[in-house]
Amino acid sequence: MIEFSNEITICPMGEEDLDQVLNIEAKSFPHPWLRQHFIDELNSSYGFPLSAFDPSNRLIGYICPMLLLDEGHIMNVAVAPSARGIGVGRLLVQRVLDDCRAENASYVSLEVRESNQSAISLYRKMGFIDMGRRKRYYENGEDALMMEYVF
């Protein structure tokens, strides 16, 4: 049981993490990414996927961001259901903002389902602002909110 987010370590994701990542992915999304999606991110010149570990080295979350010139984008983020609500998602997003800022990014963007209140609340609390919506972006016809963190 983790009690404090300062007990969490964030490191570059490795291929050896993927079994645990896929397990969380399957529990987090109706249309989970396949192993190949993560492998593509690991091999991408622009992607820098990160994993979060608890003190016993269990993978409890991950994030897949990319940085292309000065434009950052978060494509995927999830936390293991048993580790939600203790600050892991915030730490992962903050690490991406810090890394993008260090590389002189102008902004970091993302899309989120309009029904995903926990994620929207996390992003707003961290300073992301609403930039509009993509109509019927998801497979069930749901709109995506487009959000941006501007440096």
Ligand X SMILES: CC(C)(COP(=O)(O)OP(=O)(O)OC[C@H]1O[C@@H](n2cnc3c(N)ncnc32)[C@H](O)[C@@H]1OP(=O)(O)O)[C@@H](O)C(=O)NCCC(=O)NCCS
Residue numbers at the binding site for ligand X (CB under 6 A): 28, 77-79, 84-90, 112, 116-119, 121-122, 125
Give the nearest distance from C-beta 77 to ligand X in angstroms: 5
Classify residue 83 as exposed, middle or buried by CB count within 10 Å of its CB (0-12, 13-18, 19+).
buried
Residue 144 structure tokens? 């995506």
Select the residue whose beta carbon is closest to ligand X and give its number.
Answer: 89
* CB closer to ligand X, 45 vs 139: 139
Give the nearest distance from C-beta 20 to ligand X in angstroms: 14
* CB closer to ligand X, 34 vs 69: 34
Query: Which 3-state string (H, E, C) describes 73-127?
Result: EEEEEEECHHHCCCCHHHHHHHHHHHHHHHCCCCEEEEEEECCCHHHHHHHHHCC
* CB closer to ligand X, 18 vs 88: 88
* CB closer to ligand X, 28 vs 109: 28
Quickly count: other Cβ atoms within 10 Å of residue 57's Cβ.
Answer: 7
Give the nearest distance from C-beta 142 to ligand X in angstroms: 12
Give the nearest distance from C-beta 12 to ligand X in angstroms: 19
49 closest CA partner among 59, 41, 37 = 41
